Amino acid sequence: MHVLVLGGTTEARRLAELLAAALPEDVRVTSSLAGRVASLRLPPGEVRVGGFGGADGLAAWLRTHQVDALIDATHPFAGTISFNAAKAAAATHVPLLALRRPGWVPGRGDDWHPVGSLEEAARALPALGRRVFLTTGRMGLAAFAGLDALWFLMRSVDAPEPPYPARMEVLLDRGPFTAEGERELIRRHRLDVLVTKDSGGAATAPKLAAAREAGIPVVVVRRPPVPEGGAVADTPERALAWLRGADSGRTRAQPSG
Ligand SMILES: NC(=O)c1ccc[n+]([C@@H]2O[C@H](COP(=O)([O-])OP(=O)(O)OC[C@H]3O[C@@H](n4cnc5c(N)ncnc54)[C@H](OP(=O)(O)O)[C@@H]3O)[C@@H](O)[C@H]2O)c1
């Protein structure tokens, strides 16, 4: 059995680890990364890097490499690849599972401002604060470039490229983050508003608790749409259980000798 995991997330790496430890030797796992970050965190098993060339390219890859199951474990904001995965799986009849971490939900004392895009987040900011903790990643910073009256602490894995806000300090870092560390950043830089995508997951959630404690508002960018229907798992462990089912179904379907 050959499993292709579309990755770039903590969950995808965790699934590759589970697969390496739990599945028999005749199961081959390939993780696919877009190659956006300079220092890749490689999962166990085989790894390929770079785009496929759209849904048709992905379908061709599935056929050429005789893939038996496809897992879309990409980030909730990676909308294009998820639709490509759904199209390619339908065209090749390869079983597809989407591994999607649940979104965050506001708790007691949270002051959340949901928005539909980075542009909408930028429009909301001047009414909410002056010193912004910007954690939406290095892509799409152009949306905030015109906000000259605001100061930004922008955190990302790799350095951003212009256009970006004129008054911005860049903090290169990668999760998981701690509540203590986030609290300290808010205090030291006197941050008075947080901007985040609704990425979900534990690794970057401590900023939300720190914002609540500090009593500062949070602009939350809602998730883009995902393909409708199809199998979905919310944890790597459940994805593994789905794969076991797919594998035993496949074994049963093979003609006996
Ligand atoms: N967007 C975020 O906020 C975010 C945050 C953390 C991690 N990531 C990870 O970074 C990667 C890129 O994100 P994005 O928002 O640029 O995605 P995207 O907009 O959905 O994808 C753009 C193109 O990048 C290629 N691609 C994306 N993920 C790939 C993968 N796992 N393997 C091979 N090719 C891939 C595909 O190129 P082709 O059409 O040529 O196949 C896709 O059409 C994703 O894998 C995602 O899991 C994204």
Q: What is the pLDDT along the chain (257 residues), one digit of tens a residue?
A: 999 999 999 999 999 999 999 877 778 999 999 999 888 889 999 999 999 999 999 999 999 999 999 999 999 999 899 999 999 999 999 999 999 999 999 999 999 999 999 999 999 999 999 999 999 999 999 999 999 999 999 999 999 999 999 999 999 999 999 999 999 999 999 999 999 999 999 999 999 999 999 999 999 999 999 999 999 999 999 999 999 988 777 766 554 43
Residue ranges in 139-205 assigned as alpha helix (H): 179-188
Cα end-to-end span (Å), the chain? 18
Residue 227 has what pLDDT?
96
CA of 74 to the centre of ligand 1 (A): 7
CB-ligand 1 contact for 75 (6 Å cutoff) = yes
Q: Is the CB of 78 under 6 A from ligand 1?
A: yes
Cβ 29 under 6 angstroms from ligand 1: no
Q: Is the CB of 135 under 6 A from ligand 1?
A: no
**Residue 70 · residue 97 · CB < 8 Å:** yes
pLDDT at 253: 59
Tell me, what's the pLDDT at 38?
85
Note the pLDDT of residue 79. 87
> Ligand 1 pocket, 140 CB below 6 A?
no
Give yes or no for a contact between 68 and 248, defined as CB atoms under 8 angstroms apart.
no
What is the DSSP secondary structure assignment for residue 109, as one 8-state letter?
A: T
Whole-Å CA distances, 151 to 72, 112, 135, 194, 205: 37, 20, 14, 12, 23
Closest ligand 1 atom to residue 53 Cα is 40
Query: How far is it, in rounded angstroms, from Cα 165 to Cα 151?
Result: 8
Counting ligand 1 atoms within 8 A of each CB, the residue from 80, 82, 221 with the most, and so the one to mutate, is 80
Asked if 30 and 46 touch (Cβ cutoff 8 Å), the reply is yes
The rounded Cα 54 to chain-centroid distance in angstroms is 19
pTM: 0.94
Closest-CA residue, ligand 1 atom 29, reads: 34
Picking from 74, 93, 82, the residue whose alpha carbon sits closest to that of residue 36 is 74
For residue 154, what are the β-bridge partners? 134, 170
Alpha-helical (H) ranges within the chain are 10-22, 54-64, 79-92, 118-124, 179-188, 206-214, 236-253
Ligand 1 lined by 33 (C-beta under 6 Å): yes
Q: Are 115 and 222 in contact (CB under 8 A)?
A: yes
Q: Is the link from the previous residue into 176 a cis peptide, with omega within 30 of 0?
A: yes
Give yes or no for residue 212 CB within 6 A of ligand 1. no
CA distance 220 to 189: 20
Q: What is the dihedral of CA 246, 225, 142, 8, to 10 degrees?
A: -10
Q: Closest Cα to atom 10, ligand 1: which residue?
A: 8
Distance CA 219, CA 21 (A): 40
Contact (CB, 8 A) for 140 and 78: no
